[in-house]
């Protein structure tokens, strides 16, 4: 049985005032009173083998035009803000990196990192003009530590681009397809990203319902 000692401490801001937001037949979801992150306590997490088995089912490739269009919701606003020939990191790229191909087609250089498929800790001793995390932050076991690591390797005035669906309200949450994926354990809203921006001295911008750009000041 997994340790529940820190089950009610927000994994993003460390707040200890977290209450039950929703419960279904599979899991409980707690909500932080400060940064408003909704998160699943560790007791309900999948083990690494079962988590990876789900990721192995993902079929995303650069040749998939539909997937490229999906990613363009992030790449389009990001590319407008990048100078030429920038150095970037595709964080949590998964088994079939695609975003990196799109950005490299535009003249940028992109390193790949994924804890299951491209686990290269040496990348966190480099520095980057931009970092992308598409459909990643909802999987983070320790978002506080991960965002700290990302901002440490992001250059001043660099861009952190995130794609993730955001919590609207409790009613929508109950029927939300996003919580059916058991690898999804963190659910953010605008307040969560505004907290991240303030903590790491960044300016946050929102594009549509699921794209967030953080510009490190």
64-103 pLDDT, tens digit per residue, is: 888 899 999 999 999 999 999 999 999 999 988 899 999 9
Q: Please state the CATH superfamily assignment of the domain spanning residues 18-216 in this structure.
A: Vaccinia Virus protein VP39 (3.40.50.150)
* Global model pTM greater than 0.75: yes
Domain ranges of the chain: 18-216
The pLDDT of residue 6: 62
Residue 3 above 50 pLDDT?
A: no
Reported confidence tier of residue 4, pLDDT bands at 50, 70, 90:
very low
Q: Cβ of 209: how many Cβ atoms within 10 Å?
A: 10
The pLDDT of residue 5: 44
Average pLDDT for the chain: 94
Percent of the chain scoring above 70 in pLDDT = 96
The pLDDT of residue 182: 97
Reported confidence tier of residue 8, pLDDT bands at 50, 70, 90:
confident
The pLDDT of residue 60: 73
As given in the structure block, the two tokens for residue 176 are 């939300």
The rounded distance, in Å, linking the Cα atoms of 78 and 67 is 17
C-alpha distances in angstroms, 146 versus 12, 91, 113, 136, 139?
9, 10, 13, 11, 11
C-alpha distances in angstroms, 173 versus 15, 126, 203?
22, 38, 27
């Amino acid at each position: 049985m997994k340790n529940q000692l820190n089950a009610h401490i927000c994994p993003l801001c460390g707040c200890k005032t977290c209450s039950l937001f929703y419960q279904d037949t599979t899991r409980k979801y707690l909500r932080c009173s400060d940064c408003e992150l909704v998160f699943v306590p560790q007791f309900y997490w999948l083990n690494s083998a079962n988590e990876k088995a789900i990721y192995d089912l993902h079929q995303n490739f650069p040749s998939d035009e539909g997937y490229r269009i999906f990613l363009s919701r992030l790449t389009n606003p990001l590319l407008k803000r990048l100078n030429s020939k920038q150095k970037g990191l595709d964080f949590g790229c998964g088994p079939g990196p695609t975003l990196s191909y799109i950005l490299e087609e535009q003249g940028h250089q992109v390193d790949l990192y994924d804890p299951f498929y491209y686990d290269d800790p040496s990348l966190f001793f480099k520095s980057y003009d931009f970092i992308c995390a598409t459909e990643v932050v909802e999987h983070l076991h320790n978002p506080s530590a991960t965002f700290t690591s990302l901002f440490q390797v992001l250059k001043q005035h660099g861009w952190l681009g995130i794609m993730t669906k955001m919590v609207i309200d409790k009613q929508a949450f109950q029927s939300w397809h996003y919580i059916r994926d058991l690898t999804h354990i963190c659910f953010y809203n605008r307040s969560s990203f505004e907290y991240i921006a303030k903590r790491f001295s960044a300016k946050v911008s929102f594009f549509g319902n699921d794209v967030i750009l953080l510009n490190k000041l």
